[in-house]
Amino acid sequence: MPYNPVFMRKAIQCAEKARGTCSPNPFVGAVIVKEGKIISTGWTQHYGGDHAEIQALKKAGNEAKGAEIYVSLEPCAHYGKTPPCAEALVKAGVSTAYIGILDPNPLVAGKGIKILENSGIKVELGFMQQEISRQLEYFLCRMTKQRPFVIWKTAMSLDGRVAADDGSSRWITGDASRKLVHKLRSEVDVILTGIGTILKDDPLLNSRLPRRLRQPVRVVLDPLLDTPLDSQIVQTARQYQTLFFCTDCAPKDSHAAIKDKGIELVVITCGDVILDLRKVLTELHNRGYYSVLLECGSTLSTAFLKAGLVDKAYLFYAPKLLGGSRTAVNDLGIRSIEGAMDYHFESFKRSGNDLLCIAYPKEI
C-alpha cells in the first residue's frame, strides 16, 4: 500500500514514550502495518534493551511477514548492545520500510537502508523530517557536534530580572512552571550548575515528580572545590549520582573529602581557575550523555552563551516587575545591536500564570 502519514505520525508518538529512558540511544518509534491496519507498535527500550523495530517485530510475530514498517529513524546496521535491526527486518520478511530520516551515526549512515534494499525490501525515505529531527535533537547533536545538546533554563520577571536586589529569588515563577522544570529534569541526562549557585541556593537538583522514570546525573563545576561538605548536593551524593569538575589548582586535601562523600571527581588541567566548558562537555559526551540542562546563575550562563554552547533556551517569564541589576545574563561583550545573538522563537505557551518561551539560536 502507498505511504500513509497517519502511521508515521503514530511512530513519532510511540518514540515519545522512550524520551528520557534510553540514552545514548535515540528514542525511536516503529509501527508495523498490514492491509492498512496497525498490527504492532514499538519504541526504544532502556540502553541495551530492544530497539523500536525489534519490539514491534516481537509483538507482530509471524504477521510481520509481508507487512510494512514505519520507523522514525533509519534501522541500525551494526552490532552494539543488540544485533542490527535492519537484519531483523530482513529475517522477519517485511515488504516495505518507510523511514523518517537517515541516521547520521557513521556506523549506520545509509548502511541500514542498503541492507534492506539488497534483500529486496522496498525502502522509501524522507517523511516528517523536520518534526523527527526536532524530536531527536539531542541524539543528532551528539552525532554531528560530538557533544551533548545543551538546554539553558532560566526563570525571570517580565523585565528580565532573576532576583530582587536583596538576592531573593524564590519563587519568581509559580507551581506549574516548577512542575514543568521537574519534568524536564527527568528527561535529560545531566543537570549542570556552578559553584555560585551551590553557595547561593544550596540546591538539590533532582527530579521530584511523583512518577519519575529516572534521576539525572548532577554535575557541579567547582574549580577550587569550594562546595561545603554539609550542602545538600554533597549530603545526597550517595542517593543521586553526582559528578564534580575541578581544575588542577584545587587543593589536594579537598579531593579526598569530596570523594569520601561518594562524589566522582574529574580534574581538568587548565593552568588557571577557569574550567574549559568544551572539555567538560567532551567528558560528558565520552560518558554517553547526550543532553544537559543548565540550572545555573548568570555567570555560568553567560560563559556558555559566549562560547556558543547553548542549543535551546527555556525562558520562564513571571508576571512580576523587579527592576534592579540582577539579570539572567551578564556582559556578553556585545556593543551594538548588529552584534546581538539572534534567536528564533519556537513556541510560547502559558504555564500557570507564567509564560514559557522556547527559543533556538539562529544558525550563522
Which residues are marked as active site?
A: 53
CB count in 10 Å sphere of residue 223? 19
Instruction: Give me the torsion for CA of 54, 59, 65, 66, rounded to 10°.
Output: -90
Can you tell me the distance from the alpha carbon of 322 to that of 296, in angstroms, rounded to the nearest whole number?
20
Are 200 and 167 in contact by the 8 Å Cβ rule? The answer is yes
| CA neighbor of 3 nearest in space, from 91, 126, 92 | 126
Are 75 and 53 in contact by the 8 Å Cβ rule? The answer is yes
Can you tell me the distance from the alpha carbon of 208 to that of 243, in angstroms, rounded to the nearest whole number?
19
Q: What DSSP string runs through 13-48?
A: HHHHTTTTTSTTSPP-EEEEEETTEEEEEEE--STT
- The distance between the two most distant Cα atoms of the chain, rounded to a whole number of Å, is 70
Chain centroid, CA 120 distance in Å: 37
Q: Which helix (H) or strand (E) holds 203?
A: none
Per DSSP, the chain holds a count of helices (H) and strands (E) of 12, 14
Label residue 261 exposed, middle or buried (CB < 10 Å: 0-12, 13-18, 19+).
middle
| List of residues 6+ apart from 106 with CB closer than 8 A | none
Label residue 46 exposed, middle or buried (CB < 10 Å: 0-12, 13-18, 19+).
middle
C-alpha cell, 256: 579526598
